[in-house]
Structure formats: C-alpha cells, structure tokens
Structure 1
Amino acid sequence: MAAFREVLTKHFPNVDEEISDYVSSILEDGVDDFDTGEDLYEAIGMLLQQTDVSKSDQDIKDICNRLYYVMNGDDERSSPDTNNGETNGMRKMLDSPVMLSSMASDMKNKADDDHSIWVKKKGSNTTVDKKKLEKAEAKIQKKQGKRTDVPKKENGVPMGELATASQQINKRDARLDASGNNRSTDIKIEDFDIAFGERTLLQSASIHLVAGRRYGLIGRNGLGKTTLLKLISNGHLKIPSHISVLHVEQEVTGDETKALQSVLECDEKRENLLRREKELNAIISLASTNPEEDHAAQLQKVYQDLEAMESAKAPSRAAQILCGLGFTPKDQVRPTKEFSGGWRMRLSLARALFMRPDLLLLDEPTNMLDMKAIIWLENYLQDWPKTILVVSHDRQFLNAVSTDTLHLHTMRLEGYRGNYEVFHKTREEKLKNQIKEYEAQKQYRDHIQVFIDRFRFNANRASQVQSKLKMLEKLPPLKPVEKETEVVLKFPETEKLSPPILQLDDVNFYYSKDKILFTNVSLNANMDSRICIVGENGAGKTTLLKLLLGTLDPVKGIRHVHRNLRIGYFTQHHVDQLDMSQTSVELLAARFPGKTTEVYRAQLGSFGVTGDFAVRPVSSLSGGQKSRVAFAVMSMANPNFFILDEPTNHLDMETIEALGEALTKFGGGVVLVSHDERLIRKICKELWVVSGGTVRSLEGGIDEYKAIVEAELAATS
C-alpha cells in the first residue's frame, strides 16, 4: 500500500489520510478486477476528481494509468506517459528461461495440499467497501464546503425519509451497454439493497425479468413493493439503457387537451412525424409552381415512417383502449380537466397501454377500475407482448394476468413460476417441507445430545461421547422456519338492534333536474346484512352510500334509520385526510382525547399497526398501513353498522383475508362497495347492482353479475 500512497501524495499533496487509505485498499485488493487503466478510472476517477477539482479529466486518467502500472508491480516511471511510450508494465524481459511444465506441476501439487476445492474464485465485480466510500465522499464534501447543517430535501421531503438504493454493476454488462451492442430485452438487476431512511427494505436482492413474461410482485404492506417500482422507473436501479420503462404512477394533468388526443400525444415519435408532415406540406404549397426536390424527398420519407408505424391505426387503437377502461365516445372528446383524479389515473393507464414500453410497471392498477374495466384489462394484458411487473392485491387479477410471481419477504425476493394460485400452493408445500426438515434435524440433534448428557462422565464411553460431539459440530446450524406473522383485524363487539335498521323507501335523487340519478329506489338493510354494491364507475354507487349515510337527502322518498344506529364510514377520502405529520398514536389522541397511550396502542394493534409503526409519522407508512390506521379511527367510536367504500384499496392479500374474517364475525350490518371478487365471495350474502337509474338485487350473486359484464364486453368488442 505504501507505493500507492506515495503516488497519491505526490499528485494530491493535501489528500486526507482516510481517503488515501481507502483508495489504496481498493488498489491492493483489486489486482484481478482491473484490466486497464481505464477500468481503474471508472472505479476511482470521480473520487480523485473530488479530491482536487483543479485537475482535468485527462489529468485524472493519467494518474489512474500510473496507479495501474504500480498495481501490476512496476515503478510509476514505467507508465507510458513517463517512458516515451515504452512500457515495462505488463511485458517484462525475463532474466532466465521458465519451465512451464514444472510450474504447472508445482501449482497442481500446491492446490491439492491446500484443498483447492474450497478456494473461492473472484467474480468480475469490483469489491467496494460502501461504508468507507461514503465516509470518504462525506469528508471531501466537508472540505469543499458543500455540507450544511440543514437537512437536504427532494420535493419537500427530507432526504432521510427518501428511499435509496445501492447496486453492484457488472463491468462486462456495463461495457456491453455502453457499446450500444446490447439488444436483449431481458432485465437483470443483481445484488442490490434498498433502504427507506434508516430502515433496510431489501438486502442483497436480485431480479431477473425475462422478456415477454408478466410478473406479479406480492408481499405485505410496507415492505417496499411500491418503492422498488419507483427506483426502477427513476433510474436509481440501473437497467440496460435501450430498454424503455413506463410507470403508471401519476395522474394526467388536467387541461384543455381532449382525452383521446392525450393518449395519442404520448407517442412523441408519431407526433413529431405528423408535425414535420404539416411543416413540409406548408413549405411545398408555398412553392407549388416549383417545389424543391429535397423537401419532396423528406416528405416521402415521413410518409414511409408513418406507414411503417401504422400511424393511421393509432386513433382507433387509442379509442379501443379508452373504451375498455370505461370512457364512452362522448368522454373521449372531453377535456382532461373535466375528469376526476380517478379518471385521470385511468387516462395514465390508457397512455401506458398505448405506448407499449419494453417494461410496464403497474402499481395496484385495479384500484381505480370497476369490475367491467378489470375484466377487460385482464383480457387485454393476457396478449401483452412485452414485459410487465405489476403490484396488485387482487388475487383474481394476478391469476388471470401473471405468468410468474415475485415474493418480497424478510428483505429478500424469491421467484416462482406460475400465477398467484400456483405460488400459494408451492409456498405452502415448501413451508411444510421446511418444517418437517427442521423437526427431523431437531429430533436427531436431541437424540445425540441425550447420549452425550447421559455418558458425559463415563470413562468407558469417552471416545463415543467425543465422536458424538464432533458429529454435532459438523451438522449445519439449526434455523427455525421463517413464517410471516398472521394478520388479525378485530372490530369491536356491538349490541343487536331490532329491525327496521336502515332502509330507503321510493327514493328519487338527482344533482340537476336534467340528469336524474335514481328513481323509485327501495332498499332495506339489517344487523345481519352483508351487502355488496357493484356497478360501473359513474353509475351512482358512492351517491347511494351517501343516501344511506344521510349525508345526502332524497329529492323524493324517505330514509328510515334506527335511533340507536351508529354508522362507521370508511372511504379512501378519509385515508387521504389523515394528518400525515402526526404519528398514529397522536392522531387517535387528537380525535378521541382523554385516554391513555396504552388504549390508543391497543386499538391500533387490533388492526396490525404495532411496534415502531404506531409511533412513526403517518406520511412514512405505506398505503395499506394508512388504511389500517383509518380503520382504527373509524372503530374507536364503537359503531354497530359499517358502510365501506372500496375498503381493499392498497391492502395486501393477507390483510384482505383478515378483513373478510373480521367482517364475517362483526355483530352489526355491513354494506360495502368493492370490486374484489374474493372478498365479495367471502362475506356477501346479497348483491345490489346500480345501473340505469335503479338498484336491483341479483339472486345469482357475483357469478351472475360477471356473466352479464362479460356478455357486454363481448358485444362491444
């Protein structure tokens, strides 16, 4: 290391000892990792540049070349720029002949003596101590006066609360990508870590996405599924540069652009060609008597490019996608500013489906869709030609769409072939086998230990005891099977009320007289009711809930309600209205003052918000965890009837299962709007369909409704 320090001190007189030690350790350990001085420049060039900003890139490259020659056993003076182009680095004049056959024999004998089967070969990746690197870079920033005591922020969020990623980049893959010769659309992200603030989400994880396959990403709330998608889409996790990525995350900006045009405009190549076509036609028309040949040739090339990309079919393809997602022909020519946030998210999804990127990232795409649009999307994605990575809580959707499953748990990712049902069966079988193996190992160990304990002090059995002790030492470590904790949600006990509980009689309702929403609606719910309301978006499901709640008054008709009825209402709007700056405990204390911290924590614990999560700011919780907090707030008032509007949005599958169990055991009545087929089958005894200004009950339940929807889709396709 002394030789490296000498070169560094010579060229960087003011270099800190810590930085010098760190760079020297990389050079000493990396003899086999660097093939040229250019490789060395890629590894440490930026760090050296920060050490002395007065030096140019060429200066740093020259220094790296000198360090490279020193690393290979040469004096710095033998590098090309100090020896008139003559090197004594990789090529040396030998003083005597070398007998290669004897060298090979000696090496073989030495390998046999050292048990060479256990020798670990070095990979192609440079080993870098991340902690030392961060410490060295921090010291450089401090010297340059770039650090301040004020926490850095990105989009108003403190950097400590943002997700960060570190990743090992394979040098060969990086060179192939830089050369522009990489045409594979397979994606490998190897050996990466993800942290959120000080909390590690993923450690030494790897992903391999085969082109054309559809991957379902599953795991508990708060483990980092959404964070992983964001880091891939924003480039913090590197993938080959020629692969296009699109993440459906933000809603379309509302302006005067029509919905159909908004979808068409996302294809920038097509838009640029159409714009150029207009420009060239205008130029040629002005010189109609004698148009220039160059302009005519350019226009011909534009026409050829438009024809090659089937530009004429683009409007019909965009209209088909919008129609499938619930946009009527009239909606497709409406300005985007007239749509709500949920419909603008649908527009974002439509734009992504229209663009067909190499990698499509979808985060809970079914949250914004009704059942008809979900069934259409399932069918559409089954023929998707590119790669998909989708996070979803909808088991039916994943069963229909995914060809592979990625399971995120205990800070790692495991891949399975097949959809969610195949994964679930495989996972259960794997856990059973692991438990059997663990119990067998434990039983074997216990059997040996009994013998050792029995004859430990018996001189006649001393050799046998020693043999058994050695057997125990050679056995692999006994690790219990890692099982995810069971999710349990518990709603409060409630007293029974005698009917009538809640009913609407001959209700009419409209927001404006020219558009009547409901006519002569009569409904009844009691303490045993488990009713699910379904229908297309915009049909009036949420309005019906508000009529049942009493927040909207009927234009005509009567709402009857039991005098002791206490309704608990859950909607995504309530989740969004939580005070994000408070902790969950503080939020409950503000809403329901006068109780102890233990009471608030017990209430949160009933909905799975335990330990550190209860005292973290709500803003740092995942979408599913925020929903659990909202459930805890709703239940604190001890309601005896629930009205729930899309309660499964952002919940993981285990929590949805627990919600179904809790609602089944709940002593009061339940009316909910949901598109989650599994939850509907699990708890609902009655199905109300909102359509055409009326509400009707379906005796055939969810199966009859799905058959109706599929028939409508078949008729419109």
Structure 2
Amino acid sequence: MSCTELLKKELKKEFPSIDKDLQNYVEGVLSSADDFETSEEIYDAIGEILHEVTSDKTENDIRLLCNRFHSILHPQSNGKVKPQMRKILAAPVNLGEMAAELNSNMEEMTSIWVQGRTDVSKVDAKKLEKAEAKLQQKLEKREGAKTTTTAAPVLQTASASQVLSKKDAKIDAKGQSRSMDIRIENFDVAFGDKVLLQGADLNLSYGRRYGFCGRNGLGKSTLLRMISSKQLQIPSHISILHVEQEVVGDDTIALDSVLECDEKLNELWRREKELSKDPSKADELTEVYQELQLLEADKAPARASIILAGLGFTKEMQAAATKTFSGGWRMRLALARALFSRPDLLMLDEPSNMLDIKAIIWLEKYLQNWPSTLLVVSHDRNFLDTVPTDILYLHSQRIDAYKGNYENFVKTRAERLKSQRREYEAQMAHRAHVQEFIDRFRYNANRAASVQSKIKMLEKLPELKPVEKDFEVTLKFPEVEVLQPPVITLDEVAFRYPNTDRTIFSGVCLGGNSESRICIVGENGQGKTTLLKIIMGILTPTSGFVRHHRGLKFGYFSQHHVDQLDMNVNCVELLQNEFPGRPIEEYRRQLGSFGISGDMALQVVASLSGGQKSRVAFAKMSMANPNFLILDEPSNHLDIETIEALGKACAKFQGGVILVSHDERLIRMICNELWVCGGGTVRSIEGGFDEYRRIVEAEIEAASK
C-alpha cells in the first residue's frame, strides 16, 4: 500500500466524519514528504485544522497522530529527522586553493553578501549570562526527564454501602413491589479515603423532576454512577438509564440507533416479521398487532426523528452511520436514545455541556413534559429554573430536598438558614444565662436544688450545631493597563479552509476594546471557535483584515484547556513548570485567587474534579497577565457558585472579554454586545440575549409544526 493510501486510511480512521474538502486539503498538504523533516512541522501545518474537525481529541492526541503521519512519510527514520543525502563530487577539491581564493575575494564578497558590523559586541553581558543559565536549566531538566520517568498517579475508586430494610428486600425478591417511588436510606458513599456521603437519604417520587446541585467535588456524579451500577440498590422492577457514555460508532444509521434502544418495541417488530410468514399463526400475529398499537409503534420513527431534530440532527445526519459522527455528536445520540426509551428513572449528568443554546432551549421544553422520574445534575442556573419540580442539594455529606425550582430553593434555603441561625443564637444565649446562674449559686446550700434542676435542664436541651457558612467563591483576574481604542478591528473578514469551497463566514466587520464584553452565540459548527482563532491570529482570514493594538496580549481559555494540563504534577508544580523562577508563595497566591488554596494546591491535578481543574487552568492563563480574555465554553465544568464568581470577575476585569458560552445566566451577567454566528456570516444584534432567545424559540416553534 502506498504512502498516500496509508495516510488516507489513517486520517479516515481517526476522523470518520471529516468534511471531504478538509480531507482533500490535509492529504494535499501531506503529499510532499520532503516538506516535513519532523512530526512537529506536520503539527504546525495541519494541527489547527485537525482540532477544528473534532472537539474530542486533545493536543496530545493530535501530536501523536502527526507522529504516525511522519512515520508513514519517512518509514526509514522511525520518527527521527531524515538524514542528509551524501553528495559525490565529480573531481577532487583543493581546499588550500579555495581558502586562498576566498581570502582574496573577501572584501568583494563582504560588500555583496555580508552585513557590515563593528567588532565591538553589542550584547548585554548580564542578559547573555542570564540566557545561558536559563538554557542550561532547560537542558538539565530535559536530561532529567530522559533518565527519570514520573509515575502516573494512582487514582482512587468509589464505593457505596447502605442499610437495607429486610421487609422491602423480601417484597422485592418476591416481585410483589409495585411502587415506582425510590427510597435509598441511610447510605454512605466514599471515593477512596474521602467520605462523600454519610448516613444520607435519597427519596425520589415517581413523575417528579429533580435538579441535583452542590459544589464541585462533593460526589454528585459519583452518586449517579453508584445508582446506575447497582452498588446502591433500588427496586428491581424500576428501569434505570444513566446517560454517561457516548454511542459506539458502527454502520447503524442514527435514526435506527435511536429506534433499536426500545427493546420491547424491537422484539414485537421481530415477532411480527416471523409470524407474518406463517399463516397458521394468525391469532398470535393479531395479538402482536394489538400490542404494537398500544405502544403506538407506527408513530415511533416520527417520534425518534423529532427528538434527533431537536438535538440538532438534520435529515441527512439522521440517515448517516453512527461511525461518521464525532464524540460530541455521539453523546447527543446517547441522549436522544435515552429520551426515546423513556426509562422509569432517567439520570442526566450536565446534559447542557454537549449542546448549543438552540438545543438546550428545545431540551428544556421537552423535559418539562417528562412522564417518569428525572434526576439531573446541572450547574446551568437557567436550566435548573426551568426544568425541575424539586431541588436536591448536596452539602456536608448529606442531601437536603427542596420543593420548587432553583430560584425557589435559593429563597427557601436562605430563610431556613436565617431561622436556624436565630434558633442557635437564642439557645446559646439561654445556655449562657442558665450557666451564669449555675456558676453564681453552685456553692450556695440554699440554692442547691435550683442549681441541680438547671444542670439537668441544660443536659436535656437538644445540642444545636452552628449554622454552616457558605464558602464564598472568588475569582480574580490580574490588574492590567487599559488599552486605548481601537483594540481589535475586523474589516470585511472572510474565511474558508484552503483548497475547499466551504466558506465559514464572510463580510465580517466588527471590533472590540477594553470595555467590550462580547458574547458569541450560534449553533455548533457555525464557526464560533474559528472566529476566536482568527481574532487571536492563530488562523489567517481568507480575505479582509484583522488589526490589533500593539500592546494587546491575549489570555485564551479553550474548550480543551483542562484536558491539556499536566495531570501527573500537583497544582503548584504545574505553575512552577510553566513560569519557573518565582517564589512558591507567588504560585500559591495565584492559585488561591481562583479558589485553589490550602492542601488542594498540593493535590495531584488528576485527582481534582472537573471544576477544580478549570480553576487551575484559569490560574495558569492569568499568570501571564493578559489584557484581553478569550473564553471558549469556560463554564462546562464549573458549579453555580463558581460561574457566578466568573461573571463578577469578568465584570471587574479592566481589559476586554470575548466569551463563547451556552450558559444563559453567565451570558446575561457579562454581555453588553452579542455576536451571532450563522448563515455564513457573523453579525451583532440589537436587543441582546432576549432578542436572540426570541428568534431561537420562534425557529423551534416553526420546526415543530
């Protein structure tokens, strides 16, 4: 097999859904093996384009793929630089004559080829010494990396235990239980040595929709896994579906993949096909038809198609094989299968992370009519205000239940904490008053009976614990100098990938300055991330101009920023490796300004929750003191409190901010200008997010008719 065929096969295997034009472009770039002596040169040429094809692969994944491309192009080098070809001379060369001739012509050659210079060195000796020391430090570090390998951190596993009612266990074993409510009482969940829940209770009433919230790292996702894996037992007749893994890619088309997840319906279709071949089975076939009618089987394909369309699948995509989709779209497919199958208990973990705003709005409306029990972990404030009938709040190793949506939960909890605080303070005052009486008359024989009575009364008083204080999350971006406008200008910018006819957008005339709080929205695949990279100069526009203020310094938080952190070091070491030579206190202070303080700053990065890793990524980005922030989906792993803190930090930041997000609450907190990607262009719309939401809802309404 030729190199070209091997490259084509490798590219198609890694990116089954790659656009044909992009595929031709990448293959064209790689067609000239002599242009690339190292895999790093291949990455520089096509790395950014491969990142655009899919959001599932990290930078490390793309670099490994470029290594494989280099091995195919240079099979004899085994990943090393191709050796220079030896040149055989036709005749012997007299080096002495060449040297004499060179000296005689030196003056003439200098005038033509050599830049004139004085013999006095213009190099700063101190700077030179500092640069040499830095180079030596890098060499020592590189040599050390060759001789020693860092052991991968041993990640701990989760475990659960619960107290089971013998009565309920017997009823369940006999198959006599008919209740669809779920009660998991007095259970514990631990993650390695860390206790997440202790003596907790979880009660889910059938038909209710529960929003499950709490701070990052407290065990929400772990609890869902404990339920789905049956480590926490619920009645066996209740069907459970936990949307966590993406659909495996194969030749099954998307619509059939959704239809086949309803096992009962598929079994009836299979029996119908078999029985229709045997005339003697007419009675059985009639029964099958009746069951199919009860299940409204004739409407099943249309229902599956509506769900897929709501989640962003076009008619063409619904007819495409699942193997052609990226990981993000396969996760949407897994969600579509779950919505179609309607289990008794549906558990969703951050479903809005994989969706654009249009799909989120559709999902919110769809789940409002969910017929069975829903348990959803979410940090999307607007989603929690729209979908749940109840809120479950995880804190202090227990779960508290609140009626109503998230807004109602905030009010009720504030009132509950205020009441508890008053009760605690009143009891403390009463205890102090009684204790004062006891201390005053303890040795008075005439008051001995009264003192004993007071002591017994104190012993009988219920022991109230002080009301826990909510730990306030604060994020603080660096103080920077305000740049005079204009800071960023886009003039008639258009972009399409080289050697393709696919124009992402054109005619873009927009700009930003230090006061800008710009939010970019639009459906997935419309060029939001591409636009960010053009603004930062990572990609060059096909036509038009992008102009930057000469003092502009970007801070970029990408969707893959968290995945690209070094997972084998602790947080302080991570900053130390990126910005060497500073005091330890400075690294800790930087991490502390993003909520990574105390022992957490010394934890291995791999052991942190998704939200904690995001905060480390923010700390790393901010340590370079950028004066313009580019934030691409920064809220994906953050809890509600941290998202609120991020919104406040962006509002206080003295530089400009451009945000790509699907979190409505965060957009409303930050945005003073809205850019919409779609229809082959990018435009700023009057009316902000309210106007954009109205447009999207009108589109959803029109599509459903």
Change over 3 Å in CA distance of 1:470–1:188 after alignment to 2: closer
- Partner Cα separation in structure 1 for residue 214 and residue 263 of structure 2: 36
Shift of residue 421 of structure 1?
1.0
Shift of residue 300 of structure 1?
4.3
> Are 2:388 and 2:405, in contact at CA under 8 Å, matched by a contact in 1?
yes
Quick check: 1:182 aligned with 2:177?
yes
Residue equivalent to 2:209: 214
Partner SS, residue 206 of structure 1:
strand
Change over 3 Å in CA distance of 1:503–1:269 after alignment to 2: same
- Partner Cα separation in structure 2 for residue 202 and residue 536 of structure 1: 39
- Partner Cα separation in structure 2 for residue 624 and residue 578 of structure 1: 13
Residue equivalent to 2:486: 500
- Partner Cα separation in structure 2 for residue 683 and residue 631 of structure 1: 17
Normalising by structure 1, we get a TM-score of 0.74
Shift of residue 533 of structure 1?
0.8
2:413 maps to amino acid: R
Q: Deviations over 1:236-278 (max 9, x none)?
A: 1111111110111011122222211211121223333333444
1:564 maps to amino acid: G
Residue equivalent to 1:347: 333
Residue equivalent to 1:64: none
Normalising by structure 2, we get a TM-score of 0.75
- Partner Cα separation in structure 2 for residue 562 and residue 453 of structure 1: 74
Residue equivalent to 2:240: 245
- Partner Cα separation in structure 1 for residue 564 and residue 272 of structure 2: 49
Shift of residue 212 of structure 1?
0.6
Partner SS, residue 574 of structure 1:
coil
Quick check: 1:363 aligned with 2:349?
yes
Q: Deviations over 1:441-487 (max 9, x none)?
A: 22223333444555556676666555544444443335211122111
- Once the two structures are superposed, the pairs formed by residues 33-72 of structure 1 within 5 Å of their partners are none
> Are 2:153 and 2:604, in contact at CA under 8 Å, matched by a contact in 1?
no
Shift of residue 307 of structure 1?
3.0
- Partner Cα separation in structure 2 for residue 322 and residue 478 of structure 1: 52
- Partner Cα separation in structure 1 for residue 287 and residue 485 of structure 2: 76
Q: Deviations over 1:604-661 (max 9, x none)?
A: 2211122332222222222111111111111121111100011111211111111111
- Structure 1 residues 270-279 or 633-642, which shifts more? 270-279
Shift of residue 303 of structure 1?
3.5
- Once the two structures are superposed, the pairs formed by residues 226-245 of structure 1 within 5 Å of their partners are 226-245=221-240
Quick check: 1:655 aligned with 2:642?
yes
- Partner Cα separation in structure 1 for residue 165 and residue 421 of structure 2: 37
- Partner Cα separation in structure 2 for residue 170 and residue 461 of structure 1: 51
2:569 maps to amino acid: Q
1:534 maps to amino acid: V
- Once the two structures are superposed, the pairs formed by residues 673-712 of structure 1 within 5 Å of their partners are 673-712=660-699
- Partner Cα separation in structure 1 for residue 245 and residue 436 of structure 2: 63
Shift of residue 504 of structure 1?
1.1
- Structure 1 residues 441-450 or 366-375, which shifts more? 441-450
Residue equivalent to 1:411: 397
- Partner Cα separation in structure 1 for residue 280 and residue 203 of structure 2: 51
Shift of residue 340 of structure 1?
2.1
- Partner Cα separation in structure 2 for residue 304 and residue 592 of structure 1: 71
- Structure 1 residues 707-716 or 337-346, which shifts more? 337-346
Quick check: 1:166 aligned with 2:161?
yes
- Once the two structures are superposed, the pairs formed by residues 237-276 of structure 1 within 5 Å of their partners are 237-276=232-271
Residue equivalent to 1:475: 461
Residue equivalent to 1:57: none
Shift of residue 496 of structure 1?
1.4
Q: Deviations over 1:566-620 (max 9, x none)?
A: 1111122111222223222222222222233332222222111223322222222
Shift of residue 316 of structure 1?
0.4
- Partner Cα separation in structure 2 for residue 307 and residue 437 of structure 1: 60
- Partner Cα separation in structure 2 for residue 234 and residue 476 of structure 1: 39
Residue equivalent to 2:48: none
- Partner Cα separation in structure 2 for residue 352 and residue 549 of structure 1: 39
Change over 3 Å in CA distance of 1:271–1:459 after alignment to 2: closer
Q: What is the aligned-residue identity percentage?
A: 65
Residue equivalent to 1:422: 408
Change over 3 Å in CA distance of 1:225–1:513 after alignment to 2: same
Residue equivalent to 1:510: 496
Quick check: 1:620 aligned with 2:612?
no
Residue equivalent to 1:310: 296
Shift of residue 297 of structure 1?
4.8
Q: Deviations over 1:394-450 (max 9, x none)?
A: 111111110011110000011111111111110000011111112222222333344
- Partner Cα separation in structure 2 for residue 604 and residue 341 of structure 1: 32
> Are 2:153 and 2:606, in contact at CA under 8 Å, matched by a contact in 1?
no
Partner SS, residue 573 of structure 1:
coil
Residue equivalent to 2:58: none
Partner SS, residue 562 of structure 2:
helix
Change over 3 Å in CA distance of 1:297–1:454 after alignment to 2: closer
- Structure 1 residues 629-638 or 450-459, which shifts more? 450-459
Quick check: 1:319 aligned with 2:305?
yes
> Are 2:388 and 2:404, in contact at CA under 8 Å, matched by a contact in 1?
yes
- Structure 1 residues 441-450 or 386-395, which shifts more? 441-450
- Partner Cα separation in structure 2 for residue 714 and residue 478 of structure 1: 53
- Once the two structures are superposed, the pairs formed by residues 272-287 of structure 1 within 5 Å of their partners are 272-281=267-276, 284=277
- Partner Cα separation in structure 1 for residue 189 and residue 700 of structure 2: 42
> Are 2:357 and 2:662, in contact at CA under 8 Å, matched by a contact in 1?
yes
Partner SS, residue 560 of structure 2:
helix
- Once the two structures are superposed, the pairs formed by residues 599-618 of structure 1 within 5 Å of their partners are 599-618=586-605
Quick check: 1:383 aligned with 2:369?
yes
Quick check: 1:591 aligned with 2:586?
no
- Partner Cα separation in structure 1 for residue 308 and residue 598 of structure 2: 44
Partner SS, residue 165 of structure 1:
strand
Change over 3 Å in CA distance of 1:462–1:304 after alignment to 2: closer
Q: Deviations over 1:159-191 (max 9, x none)?
A: x71100001111111111111121211111111
CA RMSD between the two structures: 2.0
- Once the two structures are superposed, the pairs formed by residues 190-201 of structure 1 within 5 Å of their partners are 190-201=185-196
> Are 2:153 and 2:568, in contact at CA under 8 Å, matched by a contact in 1?
no
Q: Deviations over 1:537-591 (max 9, x none)?
A: 1221111111112111100011111222111111221112222232222222222
1:618 maps to amino acid: V
Residue equivalent to 1:45: none
Change over 3 Å in CA distance of 1:470–1:270 after alignment to 2: closer
- Partner Cα separation in structure 2 for residue 163 and residue 612 of structure 1: 21
- Partner Cα separation in structure 2 for residue 299 and residue 616 of structure 1: 63
Q: Deviations over 1:211-256 (max 9, x none)?
A: 1110111100000000001111111111111111011101112222
From 177, 201, 204, the counterpart of 2:199: 204
Quick check: 1:542 aligned with 2:537?
no
Shift of residue 493 of structure 1?
1.1
Task: State how many pairs are aligned.
Answer: 552
Residue equivalent to 1:666: 653
